[in-house]
Structure 1
Amino acid sequence: MANAPQIKIPATYMRGGTSKGVFFRLQDLPQAAQVPGAARDALLLRVIGSPDPYGKQIDGMGGATSSTSKTVILSKSARENHDVDYLFGQVSIDKPFVDWSGNCGNLSAAVGAFAISGGLVDAARVPHDGVAVVRIWQANINKTIIAHVPMAHGAVQETGDFELDGVTFPAAEVQLEFMDPAAEEEGGGGSMFPTGNLVDDLEVPGVGTLKATMINAGIPTIFVNADAVGYTGTELQEAINGDAKALAMFETIRAHGAVRMGLIASVDEAAKRQHTPKVAFVAPPKAYAASSGKQVATGDVDLLVRALSMGKLHHAMMGTAAVAIGTAAAIPGTLVNIAAGGGEREAVRFGHPSGTLRVGAQAQQENGEWTVKKAIMSRSARVLMEGWVRVPGDVI
């Protein structure tokens, strides 16, 4: 039997925020992969190099972490007042599935640049110099993101002096606005707090009853207090990711929180939904040394946050979780707000394993329900490589 030759597909490898992923235009994918389904998933798994029982993704473009096992598909938007549709696929490293249940806030920073360079944005809307405003429809969660992309000499400006903790080199700043970030459909029929409470008592077998803020904003997220699970909030990756018992504990918290949020019907379903919800722990400000060695002083931050993604402590902070942090911090009475000192606030700077990040959100109560019109934060993005990816032709 003859071996199928490889096929090549136009693609761009980009960094967005503290993540990396393979970007495609929908029109460039093989016909079978232009629609959702098994063929698309099989293609993206092979591109990234999953499933890999060795956990290294050596035979693909993935980087063996949740931050680097990502794919993006973009197309021109037929939706009114939007330029581009953005679909994000979180590829499991060691299991054969792609999780489509949420957005990637970090890669959102690269969507506008890729859309402009790929001809997906009407040229009349792109200035020769200045800032292009790209209106993005986030198709995973049915939300609008506005990206402010710097332009210079008719091209996307990627270099600059904006520094982002968790990224080694400076680049051009891309401001993102996450419009109406609270979920509308999943977990609670439109409520930002699906249980109806700012703080719940979450019963977790083998762990105990934990105070938890469960919020749908940016991405469904479960916040618990660091001291309630034996931590200070200053931990770096190795303190958690090298501890199998700790990882199992956080996964149990995540699974039971997902049930309480209405995202899944039983804890058994959590294994098939790794990307959402996120689980994070918060603490009041305290000095610590970030993973780069940078010293973060108590006065540099309003609170400390550590978050897990795809079963591991994130090396910095997921962009969507940052939206959840900013939103929860703006609402008096949540665990995030309390850790930040309480009261009303429109922005918060939090400490994460790689340093600090500032995110803004404006919250208000309407008919007894909390709403947030938008959350704002700055990231950066850069093309790392462009051309084609190759996969064996018998993949799809």
Structure 2
Amino acid sequence: MEEAPLRDFRDLVWFERNLDAGISALHLDEQRVIAGDWDGGVYCWDLEGEALWDVKTSNRVSGFAVGGGWVYAVCGRDIVSIELESGTIQWKHELEGSSDLVACTPQGETVLATSSVFDLEMNDFLESTVWRFNSEGKLLHQGSIDERPWAISMRKDGVAFLPLSRPRCGMIRATPEELHHTPLPTSSPATCGTIAQTHTVVGHVDGTLTCIDDGMVMDDDTYTNQPGTIESIAAKEPGFLVSIGIEQGAAGSGFGGAEGVARSYDEKGKLLWQIETELGRNIEHVMYGPMVAEQASAWIVSWDKRKSIVEVRQSRDGAPLLRAESNSRVIAIEGNRAYLALGYEDGTLYLIESELLSRRVSSGSENSDDNHRSDLAEKLRRLRS
């Protein structure tokens, strides 16, 4: 495919912020962006870039769940409840091992977190624990399993689904009373999962994509099996994006020996386009982002241990929009039709906005364009600290 033009993100961003520690987790919604860092800091801004609050937790923030008036964060060994409007810590609970995943009901009245114990000598996870709390921090249930969950989705009634690694693989159905194991169509370990428009999609080591709707495994031909390990999935738009890691010489690696492949599919499972990376460059994230020319944009993030590349294309026709490079690794990305947030290992946060992105992409690098002058004034206002 045609290569996207190289651009400087600083000419495109709605606002930029720089934290003292690397960004480890992001949350983005219609009102705010929240970032967590490796030192346990949690920071919240509105979408104009105004700082709303910040708070310090115990250790690296690995994930967020937002429901009702609460932000639930898993940090180091803890789960922490933060008041959404003020940033005040309401309660925290120490878990066993390292905290991993968190999810909550839409109103935040029930929250589920997972933690795992890693054995350095065996170089593997020994066991994981699934913890259920109410919004006041009362522990309602906990249960241990031998596998580590790699994704979590929760229904409105508080029932959650967690795809697993070895030894059993399959999926845990976590109800308020128990943890129930369910096999999946493949015995391959889960690697990732995402909540789509009406269901959950799980990726596996063997390239299988499993669709789960309300706890039921769907026989859905939309999610075509892939020729390598699933690294990342995005499915919030009609259709889906998927990134694959293909071992050199493996079956299906006839893409010029590429190690990373990103593909875009429509809502019926038809392949629309794909891009490939050279050996040694892994595609770590795919995400739908802001609308450009009446199409959602597709963001593909790769890393080769030296340089990160963010490539942006039209999600339907694959038309190249831009490419940006950095010496820092992209750790977290969250997007919707209006905004997209990128968090880097060096602490840089970029927020991209749909209308500004569309104008800057269409104007190219012409500095004399009237839109550029107004965009620059707008950007300078938001970059003031």
**Which category describes the TM-score, using the shorter chain as reference length?**
under 0.3
Structure number with higher relative contact order (C-alpha < 8 Å, ≥ 6 residues apart) = 1
**Normalized against structure 2, the TM-score is what?**
0.26
**Normalized against structure 1, the TM-score is what?**
0.25
